[in-house]
């Protein structure tokens, strides 16, 4: 697959400017770059679970979406788009539709890891020719920064507050990419905004044009919930990858492939430092919490290397 960064970035926007998403939000960056993977002339039907992206890009009668768009409840984005994709195939077979359509669903981690997992799992198991994209910001940001199963360990949220008797969320984050890979679908990938977006662009095109079900998990930082300076968004994406907190990999027809291995794996505190949700970890006496966080990152990294036969 050829890759020309200038050509990709000059493609027409399919998510128009003028939406209400926050400055420094990773969600819209994820959407814009996934949609750039659509080939010229191909149309799309977009599903969107309730969340930040939905309430900020579609407020009737205004929409930022250039393609056909369906707002879904938290729990049914996967099932709605799988139904539309099935109807499309039936109409195509009857000769009632000539155009080529692709089916892409976007959901935050709350509507994907948690509330929407059942319908997502069903759509993936049935192998519908669609892509589910999770813009993972690690909490229920739209409703007040409550913890989700994607929230990392020891993060401060409004439902896992930090105080004299609490050190944040106690549980490890769910590895949803591994969960979806267990569905034995054609394509699963994890990515974020690094390498001039090349990793994201390549994986988005693979996901859209691989026949059958595909899943993209994109780490999409949130300045409100993570409590960082908006201009530092790309730096946190880079540190997430370089510390192996958020590895870049794909699973193609069951084969695990590691896309990037840091030459020098950085300590996870390089990713945690500067995020307000983790500032308590750097207080004297909490060094053991960072050590525990590091141990979990190391464990998952070694597990991924094993999956990839490294």
Q: Which tens digits make up the pLDDT trace of 183-236? A: 999 999 999 999 889 999 999 999 999 999 999 999 999 999 999 999 999 999
How high is the pLDDT of residue 2?
63
Model pLDDT, residue 59: 87
User: What homologous superfamily is domain 5-307 in, according to CATH?
Assistant: Thiamin diphosphate (ThDP)-binding fold, Pyr/PP domains (3.40.50.970)
Of the pLDDT bands very low, low, confident and very high (cuts 50, 70, 90), residue 17 is confident
Q: Does residue 56 have a pLDDT over 90? A: yes
Q: Assess whether pLDDT exceeds 80 at residue 115.
A: yes
Give the C-alpha separation, 217 to 189, whole Å.
6
CB contact set of 62 (below 8 Å; sequence gap of 6+): none
- Residue 60 pLDDT class (50, 70, 90 cuts): confident
For 246, the token pair is 């958020």
Q: 74 and 142 in contact (C-beta within 8 Å)?
A: no
Nearest Cα residue to 217 out of 262, 268, 178: 178
> Is 250 strand, coil or helix?
strand
pLDDT of residue 8: 79
Q: Please give the Cα distance from 61 to 76 (Å, whole number).
A: 23
Q: What is the DSSP letter of 114?
A: I
223 within 8 A of 23, measured Cβ to Cβ = yes
Domains of the chain by residue range: 5-307
């Amino acid at each position: 697959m050829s890759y020309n960064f200038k050509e990709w970035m000059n493609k027409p926007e399919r998510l128009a400017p003028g939406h209400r998403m926050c400055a420094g939000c990773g969600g819209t960056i994820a959407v814009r770059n996934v949609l750039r993977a659509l080939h010229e002339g191909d149309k799309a039907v977009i599903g969107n679970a309730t969340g930040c992206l939905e309430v900020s890009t579609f407020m009737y009668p205004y929409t930022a979406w250039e393609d056909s768009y369906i707002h879904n409840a938290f729990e049914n984005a996967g099932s709605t788009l799988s139904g539309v994709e099935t109807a499309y195939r039936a109409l195509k077979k009857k000769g009632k539709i000539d155009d080529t359509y692709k089916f892409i669903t976007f959901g935050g981690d709350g509507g994907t890891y948690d509330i929407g997992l059942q319908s997502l799992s069903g759509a993936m198991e049935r192998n519908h020719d669609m892509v589910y994209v999770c813009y993972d910001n690690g909490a229920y940001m739209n409703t007040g920064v409550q913890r989700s199963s994607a929230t990392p360990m020891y993060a401060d949220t409004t439902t896992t507050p930090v105080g004299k008797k609490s050190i944040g969320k106690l549980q490890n984050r769910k590895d949803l990419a591994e969960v979806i890979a267990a569905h034995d679908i054609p394509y699963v990938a994890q990515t974020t905004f690094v390498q001039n977006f090349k990793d994201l662009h390549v994986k988005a095109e693979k996901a859209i044009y691989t026949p059958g079900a595909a899943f993209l998990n994109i780490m999409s930082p949130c300045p409100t919930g993570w409590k960082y300076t908006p201009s530092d968004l790309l730096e946190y994406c880079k540190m997430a990858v370089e510390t192996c907190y958020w590895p870049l990999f794909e699973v193609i027809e069951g084969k695990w492939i590691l896309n990037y291995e840091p030459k020098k794996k950085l300590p996870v505190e390089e990713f945690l430092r500067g995020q307000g949700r983790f500032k308590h970890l750097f207080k004297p006496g909490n060094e053991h919490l960072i050590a525990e966080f590091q141990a979990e990152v190391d464990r998952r990294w070694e597990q991924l290397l094993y999956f990839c036969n490294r």
